[in-house]
Amino acid sequence: MSLIVTFLGKGGTGRTISAIATAKKLATEGKKVLLLAQDSSPALGMALGVTPTAEPQEIDVNFAAMQLNSAVLLENSWEQVKQLEAQYLRSPILKQVYGQELGILPGMDRALALNTIREYYQSDRYDVIVYDGTGGIDTLRMLGMPEILSWYFRRFRGIFAESDIVKTLSPFVQPITSAVLNTSWTANDISGNTNNPATQMLEEGTAALSKGNVFAYLVTTPDPAAIATAKYLWGSAQQVNLGVAGILVTQAEAIDSITTEFAPLKVISVPKYDGANWQPLIDGLPAMVDVDIPQATEFVISERKIRVFLPGLDKKDVKLTQYGPEITIEAGDQRRNITLPPAWRGSSVTGAKFANGYLEVTVG
């Protein structure tokens, strides 16, 4: 499967230029690269010198680009939904609703973009997918969507199975589904089946992050606001288990203070793109895919401790709660649920401290 690289940082720091330069660099190294751009404005086409389309378009050798069009993606996805409905229902009710008439609601663009990334990720057509998104919390929420939705499914499936309504209706589920649907479901299938395509899709998305197949670079200028934003996004990325491989400093030489603030990340000063010649910028980039990435979460079994890397955040930004076998960490405007190892089930948090960018949790 492909590697997925994205870029995080304040607007105007050079994320899109960095994404294009990365795609060009990897393509010249012999990797097949797809640049996926979320921005639908003409800016990407002006930078590339070619207007990208809603399908992968060959820009150069080993280098294709695609501009995500949410309306087109929704239309295509809607047709897939109608096909599934026709497969399972004898009397489909969505056939009179057409994808061409559907509008984009807030949040749909992220879900559609994630599904498109997933499809190309699993297709094996490309070695590397470079995703040029919004570069902020929206991108992190999108990449964290599989793990969050998987948690919702697990949590509410258990509640659903124990509800009085389901217990009462259980004897009637099978005959009703046999009569109405072209399948035979039971209450257990609805409340306990973890092998359905949706669940598998979410688990695959979560695994891609945990295996390091998806990672990001921070992009900043020496501007204090840009540096503060990059630090905040660095810590927030850990909340969705997204590894950060390094930080690109644009528009100036890297300075000692930036190197210190972002340790242990590698800080790379890259030359400014002059609008015509990409080569100096490409040459200034490091090896973008063969990198060591700090671990977001570490279980120290012998000490019964969990170490969670939350750089760029302060103690006051972090809140810790426990519900049964799960610890919930609230930080960076996001929540993350960490499931305790089987050997620790039934145990409670006995201590927690935050120092040097790490939250260290002790389980008794």
* Structural contact between residues 205 and 4, judged by C-beta atoms closer than 8 angstroms: no
**Angle (CA) 295 117 196, round 5°:** 85
* Structural contact between residues 300 and 307, judged by C-beta atoms closer than 8 angstroms: yes
Mean pLDDT of 186-208: 56
Q: Is the pLDDT of residue 173 over 90?
A: no
- Give the pLDDT band (50/70/90) at residue 144: confident
Query: Residue 109 to residues 36, 73, 216: CA-CA distances in angstroms?
Result: 13, 9, 20
Mean pLDDT of 315-340: 87
Q: How many domains does the chain have?
A: 2
Q: Distance between CA atoms of 175 and 164, rounded to whole angstroms?
A: 19
What integer pLDDT is reported at residue 181 of this predicted model?
A: 47
Q: What is the DSSP string of 110-167?
A: HHHHHHHHHHHHHHTS-SEEEEE---SHHHHHHHTHHHHHHHHHHHHHHHHHHSHHHH
Phi, psi of 4, deg, nearest 5: -120, 125
Alpha helices in the chain (DSSP H): 15-28, 43-48, 70-88, 108-123, 137-143, 145-162, 164-180, 187-192, 197-210, 224-238, 256-261, 279-284
71 or 227: whose pLDDT is higher? 227
Which residue, of 292, 307, 325, is where some domain finishes?
292
What integer pLDDT is reported at residue 255 of this predicted model?
A: 79
Q: Distance between CA atoms of 341 and 185, rounded to whole angstroms?
A: 33
Model confidence over 114-125: pLDDT tens digits? 888 888 888 889
Which amino acid, residue 62?
Answer: N
CATH number at residue 337: 2.60.40.790
Query: Residue 83 to residues 54, 74, 76, 80, 328: CA-CA distances in angstroms?
Result: 22, 14, 11, 5, 38
Nearest to 308 by CA among 273, 262, 248, 354: 354
Q: Is 278 helix (H, G, I), strand (E, B) or coil?
A: coil
What integer pLDDT is reported at residue 170 of this predicted model?
A: 58
Q: Is the pLDDT of residue 29 over 70?
A: yes
Instruction: Verify that 222 and 262 share a domain, yes or no.
Output: yes
Nearest to 129 by CA among 285, 7, 239, 42: 7
Instruction: Verify that 255 and 334 share a domain, yes or no.
Output: no
128 or 255: whose pLDDT is higher? 128
- Give the pLDDT band (50/70/90) at residue 325: confident
Q: Distance between CA atoms of 7 and 4, rounded to whole angstroms?
A: 10
* Structural contact between residues 304 and 345, judged by C-beta atoms closer than 8 angstroms: no
What integer pLDDT is reported at residue 22 of this predicted model?
A: 96
- Give the pLDDT band (50/70/90) at residue 157: low
* Structural contact between residues 230 and 220, judged by C-beta atoms closer than 8 angstroms: yes
Instruction: Verify that 88 and 206 share a domain, yes or no.
Output: yes
Instruction: Verify that 116 and 202 share a domain, yes or no.
Output: yes
Q: Domain range for residue 325?
A: 297-363
Instruction: Verify that 258 and 316 share a domain, yes or no.
Output: no
Instruction: Verify that 206 and 343 share a domain, yes or no.
Output: no
Q: Is 235 helix (H, G, I), strand (E, B) or coil?
A: helix
CATH number at residue 19: 3.40.50.300
Query: Residue 166 to residues 111, 149, 156, 158, 183: CA-CA distances in angstroms?
Result: 30, 22, 13, 11, 19
Instruction: Verify that 211 and 341 share a domain, yes or no.
Output: no
Model confidence over 205-215: pLDDT tens digits? 566 666 678 89
Tokens representing 75? 């239309």
Instruction: Verify that 135 and 185 share a domain, yes or no.
Output: yes
Q: Distance between CA atoms of 358 and 65, rounded to whole angstroms?
A: 38
Least confident of 11-15, 110-114, 270-274: 110-114
Which residue, of 263, 292, 321, is where some domain finishes?
292
What integer pLDDT is reported at residue 352 of this predicted model?
A: 92
Mean pLDDT of 139-161: 73
Instruction: Verify that 267 and 317 share a domain, yes or no.
Output: no
Least confident of 15-24, 123-132, 254-263: 254-263
Mean pLDDT of 178-201: 52
Q: What is the dihedral of CA 188, 190, 191, 196, to 10 degrees?
A: 100
* Structural contact between residues 219 and 13, judged by C-beta atoms closer than 8 angstroms: yes
Instruction: Verify that 195 and 319 share a domain, yes or no.
Output: no
Q: What is the mean pLDDT of the chain?
A: 81
Model confidence over 243-263: pLDDT tens digits? 999 999 997 777 788 888 898
Q: Is the pLDDT of residue 66 over 60?
A: yes
104 or 69: whose pLDDT is higher? 69
Q: Distance between CA atoms of 335 and 327, rounded to whole angstroms?
A: 10
What integer pLDDT is reported at residue 290 of this predicted model?
A: 80
Instruction: Verify that 202 and 262 share a domain, yes or no.
Output: yes
- Give the pLDDT band (50/70/90) at residue 175: low
Instruction: Verify that 195 and 268 share a domain, yes or no.
Output: yes
What integer pLDDT is reported at residue 362 of this predicted model?
A: 94
Global pTM exceeds 0.85: no
Return the top range by mean pLDDT from 1-15, 67-81, 188-202: 1-15
Which residue, of 292, 312, 336, is where some domain finishes?
292
Q: Is the pLDDT of residue 364 over 90?
A: no
Q: Is the pLDDT of residue 163 over 70?
A: no
2 or 222: whose pLDDT is higher? 222
* Structural contact between residues 319 and 313, judged by C-beta atoms closer than 8 angstroms: no
What integer pLDDT is reported at residue 225 of this predicted model?
A: 95
What integer pLDDT is reported at residue 294 of this predicted model?
A: 78
What integer pLDDT is reported at residue 307 of this predicted model?
A: 92
Least confident of 40-49, 157-166, 339-348: 157-166
Q: What percent of the chain clears pLDDT 90, i.e. is strictly above it?
A: 36
